[in-house]
Amino acid sequence: MLHPNVSRLLNEQITKELYSAYLYLDFSVYYEAEGLDGFANWYMIQAQEERDHAMLFLKYLQQNGEKVTLGAVDAPDKELKSLMDPLKAGLEHERYVTSLINDIYAAAYAEKDFRTMQFLDWFVKEQLEEEKNADDMIKKMELFGGDSKGLYSLDNEYAARIYTAPSLVL
């Protein structure tokens, strides 16, 4: 059995990962409306990844005999007015998710819950990648997004992204 605080935080993380999926779906819808199918594709795939992250937390709780409690998923609250807005909001959100993962890790560490810490190791590495991707997108948009040909090229780059399910084995 998991410590009640660790179990609670893992349960809350399911809802937060589903919110992340919902947020990135909103970004995808925004870019689709702006005619940037590649950016829309990138965030649609990002939404799929976040949903899968939620499922990994859910499965982990179930495998540990814990009750899964699903919370309500809030509507995205970011107002998107420019092509840069989703990118900046995405980086801010990934930093927030990193803090959440760190909080769960700290709670597991305090309880000497080494199994949960090992489970979370994958997410710690994943968050490094997520933050780097978000930061790189901002840098590329700053460098090339102001030029229509550069924006077209970026959109094509992001259109080439394909979905790959997480490789974490539970």
pLDDT at residue number 1:
83
Q: What is the pLDDT of residues 76-104, one digit of tens each?
A: 988 999 999 999 999 999 999 999 999 99
DSSP string, 91-128: HHHHHHHHHHHHHHHHHHHHTT-HHHHHHHHHHHHHHH
Nearest to 155 by CA among 57, 2, 39, 20: 39
Structural contact between residues 74 and 23, judged by C-beta atoms closer than 8 angstroms: no
Domain locations along the chain = 4-159
Block residue for tokens 């927030």? 96
Rg over CA atoms, the chain: 17
Q: Which CATH number fits domain 4-159: 3.40.50.300, 3.40.50.2000, 1.10.287.3610, 1.20.1260.10?
A: 1.20.1260.10
pTM of the predicted model, to two decimals? 0.94
Give the CA distances from residue 17 to residues 52, 135, 157, in Å, rounded to whole numbers and listed in that order: 8, 20, 26
